[in-house]
Structure 1
């Protein structure tokens, strides 16, 4: 048996190396994401910070925790999906030799023990390599968060010894999950059917595939339906998870589409005929190659479109909800100085302060950090149409719930700490509509906040000019108080800042995970080509040249990549529907901003990667003379 194992490894080494590689990278990503998440969550606030600096620190670390959690979830999903599918495909590729083992007397139990033993050995090798690779990934992710300003300089994911157990559990667990199902099915197939690839052995759409595909399809549709009621943050999460479920579903159902694409390939001469025949005979191989493409395309496009669409919807919402002609960025409540200027019809000053809200009592007190907006109720309602509920702010120490507030609803009372001043319990008397672009957590009146807190705080004043105003004179007077811009220019600058944040968020979430999925694509192509030298030799003995075999393989690769792109785009389409429903519900206007440049770059990159990998694998598989290749397999 040991000699057989050695011979199997020599012949099938790309299968084993590919399986160990996927385990290695999966373990590394999960380990690094978990260490960064815990380190960011336990990051202490430096002592002696001013209230504004403390609020900025807390906001940055909270964002880092949220992004690290999303990265961990994405990495864990990719590890389970890619590792388990790789091991399952590896077992499927070895069915003929497993059938021979059973014909010479090995029982199903012995065959399963052999496969499980190999899986555990490969998992141990992959995990051992993944732990040091994970340290490098931890430094990379930490540096990314530092570079984006979310955590302070010097931050790094702190090593914890128990992570070794987690890494081992991930590596061995996902490997066994992938091999056990495949081994069970391989044991049920009759040996002669496995040797001839007929009957149950030739059936790709198994009951497991149907159940998994339909179950995840139903889950994806349900998440799309629920997205509009999830609010700004919850809706984006639901829409992104919808794409994930749909990508898994379409990966499971992809063998149904491969024959359809095969019929669309123009058959011209022996090269086209060979490519079509390979697609028809290798549906399992094509589906395994297309699976990581589907996941990569679906998740990348869904996340990118969700972020760009909500940013665009927020900018449009801001334009509709902001009246006036000019915006003045200054320090402190300058509203009185602005309204006294000749040519100013009205002005609404909004002072931004760091905020801590608390609710509950005794041991059940909960706290949430955020931002407070100090406003003049009547002027704020004039400057922001649709926010007339703010006019209910009366009587000094009164608060109104703003977008994203988690402290309660009108009628509740919350404790409010603004800057360094404790304002005590304040009643929530009104609520303003949630905004897809976010906003302050609480709105307060100026007489509820100490003047010392307001004096040094940043402020924004929306200014409306009188019909007979001398615009240049007003601009000069406002410039003496701070930075002046037109409302459209101010919104454009704010949108550009949000887009920068969007790119940063996308980079953190999809960076290493997207690279892992791309490596999964390369690995699937290599593993799929590993058992094909005899097939290539037969084609060459039938009259084709080595270059013609290579062109057929490239045509087949392009067809499989097309299947992956189509199904991945379909999975992302579920998120497109979700974001249209979300933006329509929250802003009244359905918004979809598709990143076409990213789509083109992704499609071109995938065609290039699969073509180069397929060409190298095919060229390597045709190096030996056809007669010697066929002789070695008989």
Structure 2
């Protein structure tokens, strides 16, 4: 019966099959690439500094692939579960008839779970070869974004076949389980009459899920301002997912109301669309759910990230006192101070370091960035805490965090092991990040500094000829104004995280759009008789299609609004976190992206609704009403 049901109603399961296939492909590809990246040896011929940079890039790749793996699994499970719930709701009369002819509750559950197992197996069978294509695309993308060197390739492992088939079946069965239990509980006569339990959209499970995820999102919003620069940003940018699930779970209460408040016109098509919005709450909420995820994930995450970046720039601008910034290579302090019109300069040379701290099983080694500085000049240029103790054989914890603020750490430079060094000072962590470790002059060998990148924050004498000073400094290195340098520095600091976010948002957007198209197609496939009845009563085919388009557009707008509410949770957490760290709450909204998301959602749902409603009304209405199905 499960096989026959899948074959007969393949249109209802096409979206779930696609979600399983894509989920298996992404999980397989990300897992293989993650293991390959973790075991990838640095290319031969790299210097010690380049090896440290390679290790840092590898950590970023592993983090990105782990994030993609988690997001793909979550979105696949979310889309599949909502698809199965909607599919079962569309078949409640068939399932009721099965119960009336003697089928037990257990048989109904086994029928639906059997469909899920078959769907999961078929999706995994298609997902395994697709995963190889996805792995090639992901590898190309990681090379293009600079995460991995040109020679990196994902390695196939035989055991991934078991993981892929297990993933497909588990995702499908987990997504169908709740729908199967609910379908088995509904009394057959109630399902035929659409009364009692069968007519309820807000079930106890939906209420519980909505409230639990709402509580999770609220907890992240409350705790984020206390997490510091890194923890606050991570928690704020994790708010959209639980907020979106909560909004989607509670959407049957809100979407019909929002949809009816939106203008749909005063004609027959508009009146029919408004009536359908209220009566078909399950269908409306199923279409709105992936839209809520789309807006929450893409808009909420990008807006929070942009707010943190803008806050870091503002914080640096307030704390940095300089007229010009000079970027060069190697020691340059003497040449910069000798330029006419220069009053002072804080020269800072960047070197990679491997820092080891902790003891026993808690020992940890990380590759970080360090600055070799003149402590007195650094404090003046950056209005930061005291570094009077930073001299001789000692280090200070920088504004980038991630290293202990007291005790001792083991510091290894490219070609030089400094051994155990005491941490004698610590600067407050900044929203903009920065160097993780500060080193005094004389601690780093001259050959390490010779090829290291250096920047100097230059203050000019009052009345100095800025043009002449800038021309003199240009012979030392690249000269920028402070604001110009702040923008470029912020872009370079967030380059890796922006690339990771681009991949994650692209994945989320793709899955959400698949879910939207799937819900619209399922809804239209089950409405052939409804459309035929409307035409028999006197409506034209054009009026029926226009009514379906107005209904889908209203649901789309309602979903976008609920998604905006979920995204607002991340934005509010970002504003509060920036205020807690810097003393100034920062809000930056990516309006072009918001406009693009809204436009794409309206176009996709509108086009899908037009195509499916046109297809569903091709046959003469009398033939549909007379047909047995």
Relative to the length of structure 2, the TM-score reads 0.96
Equivalent residues in 2 for 1:205-354 (5 A)?
Answer: 205-264=202-261, 265-266=263-264, 268-354=266-352
Cα–Cα, structure 1 residues 361 and 252, in superposed 2: closer, same or farther, change >3 Å?
Answer: closer
2:28 counterpart (22, 31, 40): 31
Q: Please state how far the C-alpha of 1:476 moved relative to its aligned partner.
A: 2.8
User: For residue 489 of structure 2, what is the aligned residue in structure 1?
Assistant: 494
Q: Please state how far the C-alpha of 1:298 moved relative to its aligned partner.
A: 0.5
1:96 counterpart (93, 98, 101): 93
Q: Please state how far the C-alpha of 1:193 moved relative to its aligned partner.
A: 0.9
Is residue 409 from structure 1 mapped to residue 444 from structure 2 by the alignment? no
User: What is the RMSD of the two structures over their aligned residues, measured on CA atoms?
Assistant: 1.8
User: For residue 465 of structure 2, what is the aligned residue in structure 1?
Assistant: 470
User: For residue 182 of structure 2, what is the aligned residue in structure 1?
Assistant: 185
Is residue 595 from structure 1 mapped to residue 590 from structure 2 by the alignment? yes
Q: Please state how far the C-alpha of 1:497 moved relative to its aligned partner.
A: 3.8
Equivalent residues in 2 for 1:105-120 (5 A)?
Answer: 105-120=102-117
Is residue 19 from structure 1 mapped to residue 6 from structure 2 by the alignment? no
Is residue 616 from structure 1 mapped to residue 611 from structure 2 by the alignment? yes
Deviation string for 1:69-98 (max 9, x for gaps)?
211111111011111221222112111001
User: For residue 507 of structure 1, what is the aligned residue in structure 2?
Assistant: 502
Relative to the length of structure 1, the TM-score reads 0.96
User: For residue 437 of structure 1, what is the aligned residue in structure 2?
Assistant: 432
In structure 1, the residue corresponding to 2:16 is in which secondary structure? helix
8 Å CA contact retained: 2:259, 2:557: no
Deviation string for 1:31-53 (max 9, x for gaps)?
22222222222222234311332
Cα–Cα, structure 1 residues 429 and 141, in superposed 2: closer, same or farther, change >3 Å?
Answer: same
1:545 counterpart (530, 540, 549): 540
Deviation string for 1:112-169 (max 9, x for gaps)?
1111111111111111111111111111112111101111013232222222222222
Q: Please state how far the C-alpha of 1:499 moved relative to its aligned partner.
A: 6.2
CA distance in 2, matches of 1:266, 1:304: 32
Deviation string for 1:321-364 (max 9, x for gaps)?
21111111112221123223342211110010110111234665
Q: Please state how far the C-alpha of 1:189 moved relative to its aligned partner.
A: 1.1
2:524 counterpart (509, 523, 529): 529
Q: Please state how far the C-alpha of 1:603 moved relative to its aligned partner.
A: 0.4
Residues matched between the structures, number: 628
8 Å CA contact retained: 1:311, 1:498: no
Segments of 5+ residues of structure 1 without an aligned counterpart are none
User: For residue 381 of structure 1, what is the aligned residue in structure 2?
Assistant: 379
8 Å CA contact retained: 1:308, 1:502: no
User: For residue 602 of structure 2, what is the aligned residue in structure 1?
Assistant: 607
Is residue 574 from structure 1 mapped to residue 572 from structure 2 by the alignment? no
> Which range is displaced more, 58-67 or 73-82?
58-67
1:201 counterpart (193, 198, 202): 198
CA distance in 2, matches of 1:161, 1:389: 57
Q: Please state how far the C-alpha of 1:501 moved relative to its aligned partner.
A: 4.8
CA distance in 2, matches of 1:41, 1:251: 36
In structure 2, the residue corresponding to 1:391 is in which secondary structure? coil
8 Å CA contact retained: 1:120, 1:172: yes
Deviation string for 1:465-524 (max 9, x for gaps)?
111423333223222221222222222322344565554232222223321221111111
User: For residue 59 of structure 1, what is the aligned residue in structure 2?
Assistant: 56
Cα–Cα, structure 1 residues 262 and 583, in superposed 2: closer, same or farther, change >3 Å?
Answer: closer
CA distance in 2, matches of 1:330, 1:314: 24
User: For residue 392 of structure 1, what is the aligned residue in structure 2?
Assistant: 389
In structure 1, the residue corresponding to 2:234 is in which secondary structure? helix
In structure 2, the residue corresponding to 1:448 is in which secondary structure? coil
Cα–Cα, structure 1 residues 10 and 451, in superposed 2: closer, same or farther, change >3 Å?
Answer: closer
CA distance in 1, matches of 2:19, 2:75: 10
In structure 1, the residue corresponding to 2:386 is in which secondary structure? helix
Cα–Cα, structure 1 residues 118 and 539, in superposed 2: closer, same or farther, change >3 Å?
Answer: same
Equivalent residues in 2 for 1:412-423 (5 A)?
Answer: 412-423=407-418
CA distance in 2, matches of 1:518, 1:379: 54
8 Å CA contact retained: 1:144, 1:508: no
Q: Post-superposition, which runs of at least 4 consecutive aligned residues in structure 1 deviate over 6 A? A: none
